């Protein structure tokens, strides 16, 4: 793609110009935006970049391993990977308010990130994978106060607190352009084409209190759902698909015994920017297959439902 090749060259020049011989740190989330931003900055300033990956214990199955594999082994980019799941889950203990969860995860993330950055000897710049829609979303129309449905920008306080200047090489791009740039930079397809994933992760897909046990149950159901979506060739036609673990138990029969387990809701939407969305019209046979697998293979779930709500009036996530 010539336009992405041109963008890449220009962006690299601009980053070099901005950073000079300063040090840059980048927080990786496992998502495509931070990955593309980091690879671009690495191309521009090489070893002046350090990446930090904070695992809050609320990622999907295999995600942490994927990040390490791609950065350390595929690109040979220095990466600190910190398993902070005990810390995050401890702070989330007993918390059920969605905004409270976001706040706790956001501030804990900043603490851990700050600590890891300190161990690396600090930095001058923070690289972020901010996209154009994030830029316009944070500017309210007409200059009035903007309506905030959910506090999306989980790590908003980071640059101020750490006294860092921002490097945001993707500020002019939309999601599809970031994906094209990722391909141009040689990122593996499974990372480039990955569905968006919220910063607070599975915490906002477990209404009610988050526990390690519930996160483990959800991760298994989610992995089965995504595997079936991939096998059916539907992954790229869907903007986002995920399972939600409801804090509701219902009665069922397993063999000849009564079961009393959680309900799992499946969500899948089409969208172009996440601002509006429609539920994905799976055929019934597909949904039945997924439900059967989840109920048979995941202990703790005995009922599966499908969410057919559009955005608006619903949101994509359940919290
Ligand atoms: P909603 O649920 O508001 O989501 O329709 C729109 C898009 O934003 C993602 N999302 C988040 N991303 N931190 C994030 O980084 C958050 O707290 C957050 N909440 C929602 C959501 O996954 C969807 O892509």
pLDDT value at residue 255: 87
Whether residue 147 is contained in a domain is answered as yes
Statement to judge: residues 7 and 132 lie in one domain: yes
Whether residue 220 is contained in a domain is answered as yes
Is residue 144's pLDDT more than 50?
no
Whether residue 317 is contained in a domain is answered as no
Statement to judge: residues 160 and 36 lie in one domain: yes
pLDDT, one tens digit per residue, over 168-221 is 999 999 999 999 999 999 999 989 999 999 999 999 999 999 999 999 999 999
Is residue 141's pLDDT more than 50?
no
Is residue 153's pLDDT more than 70?
no
Q: Are strands 240-254 and 79-83 parallel, antiparallel or unpaired?
A: unpaired
Residues 270-280 have a mean pLDDT of 94
Statement to judge: residues 232 and 183 lie in one domain: no
Helix (H, G, I), strand (E, B) or coil at 222: helix
Statement to judge: residues 117 and 185 lie in one domain: yes
We report the CATH number of the domain holding residue 237 as: 3.30.300.10
pLDDT value at residue 310: 98
Statement to judge: residues 90 and 33 lie in one domain: yes
Distance 135 CA to ligand 1 centre (A): 15
Statement to judge: residues 284 and 179 lie in one domain: no
pLDDT, one tens digit per residue, over 295-318 is 999 999 999 999 999 999 999 999
The domain containing residue 270 runs over which residues?
Answer: 211-306
Distance 197 CA to ligand 1 centre (A): 7
pLDDT, one tens digit per residue, over 230-243 is 999 999 999 999 99
Statement to judge: residues 115 and 164 lie in one domain: yes
pLDDT, one tens digit per residue, over 45-75 is 999 999 999 999 999 999 999 999 999 999 9
Q: Are 55 and 81 in contact (CB under 8 A)?
A: yes
pLDDT, one tens digit per residue, over 83-130 is 999 999 999 999 999 999 999 999 999 999 999 999 999 999 999 999
We report the CATH number of the domain holding residue 19 as: 3.40.50.620
Tell me the C-alpha distance between 238 and 50, whole Å. Answer: 33
Whether residue 314 is contained in a domain is answered as no
Q: DSSP class of residue 194?
A: P
Statement to judge: residues 215 and 186 lie in one domain: no
174: CB partners within 8 A, 6+ apart: 131, 132, 133, 273
Whether residue 315 is contained in a domain is answered as no
Atom of ligand 1 minimally distant from the CA of 314: 5
Last residue of a domain, one of 134, 160, 192: 192
Statement to judge: residues 168 and 285 lie in one domain: no
Last residue of a domain, one of 192, 222, 243: 192
Statement to judge: residues 111 and 149 lie in one domain: yes
pLDDT value at residue 162: 81
pTM: 0.91
Total domains, the chain: 2
Atom of ligand 1 minimally distant from the CA of 196: 24
61, two tokens: 């199955």
CA 175: distance to chain centroid?
14
Distance 152 CA to ligand 1 centre (A): 6
DSSP assignment string, 42-72: HHHHGGGEEEEEEE-S-SPTTHHHHHHIIII
Helix (H, G, I), strand (E, B) or coil at 268: strand
Statement to judge: residues 230 and 187 lie in one domain: no
Distances from the Cα of 214 to the Cα of 6, 196, 218, 243, 280, angstroms = 46, 22, 6, 12, 26
pLDDT value at residue 232: 98
Distance 198 CA to ligand 1 centre (A): 5
Q: Are 70 and 189 in contact (CB under 8 A)?
A: no
Distance 73 CA to ligand 1 centre (A): 30
H/E element, 284:
helix 284-297
Q: Which of 150, 265, 314, 318 to mutate to test the pocket of ligand 1 (most atoms within 8 A of CB)?
A: 150
Tell me which of 188 and 154 has the higher pLDDT: 188
For atom 14 of ligand 1, which residue has the closest CA?
198
Atom of ligand 1 minimally distant from the CA of 149: 3
Q: Which residues line ligand 1 (CB under 6 A)?
A: 102, 149-150, 152, 154, 196, 198-200, 240, 274, 311, 315-317
């Amino acid at each position: 793609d010539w336009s992405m090749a041109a963008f890449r060259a220009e962006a690299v020049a601009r980053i070099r110009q901005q950073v000079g011989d300063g040090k840059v740190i980048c927080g990786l989330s496992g998502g495509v935006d931070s990955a593309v931003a980091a690879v671009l900055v690495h191309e521009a300033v090489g070893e002046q970049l350090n990446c930090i990956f904070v695992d809050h214990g609320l990622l999907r199955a295999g995600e942490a391993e994927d990040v390490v594999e791609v950065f350390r082994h595929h690109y040979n980019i220095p990466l600190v990977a910190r398993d902070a799941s005990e810390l995050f889950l401890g702070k989330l203990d007993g918390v059920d308010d969605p905004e409270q969860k976001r706040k706790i995860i956001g501030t804990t993330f900043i603490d851990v990130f700050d600590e890891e950055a300190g161990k690396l000897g600090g930095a001058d710049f923070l690289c972020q994978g901010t996209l154009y829609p994030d830029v316009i979303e944070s500017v309210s129309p007409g200059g009035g106060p903007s309506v905030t449905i959910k506090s999306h920008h989980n790590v908003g306080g980071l640059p101020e607190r750490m006294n860092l200047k921002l490097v945001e090489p993707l500020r002019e791009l939309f999601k599809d352009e970031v994906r094209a740039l990722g391909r141009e930079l040689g990122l593996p397809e499974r990372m480039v084409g990955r569905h968006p994933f919220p910063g607070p992760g599975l915490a906002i897909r477990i209404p009610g209190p988050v526990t390690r046990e519930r996160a483990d149950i959800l991760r298994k159901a989610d992995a089965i759902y995504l595997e079936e979506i991939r096998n059916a060739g539907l992954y790229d036609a869907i903007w986002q698909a995920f399972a939600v673990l409801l804090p509701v138990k219902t009665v069922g029969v397993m063999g000849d015994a009564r079961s009393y387990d959680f309900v799992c809701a499946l969500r899948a939407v089409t969208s172009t920017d996440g601002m509006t969305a429609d539920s994905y019209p799976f055929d019934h046979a597909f949904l039945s297959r997924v439900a059967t697998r989840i109920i048979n293979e995941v202990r703790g779930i005995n009922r599966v439902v499908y969410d057919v709500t559009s955005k608006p009036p619903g949101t994509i996530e359940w919290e």
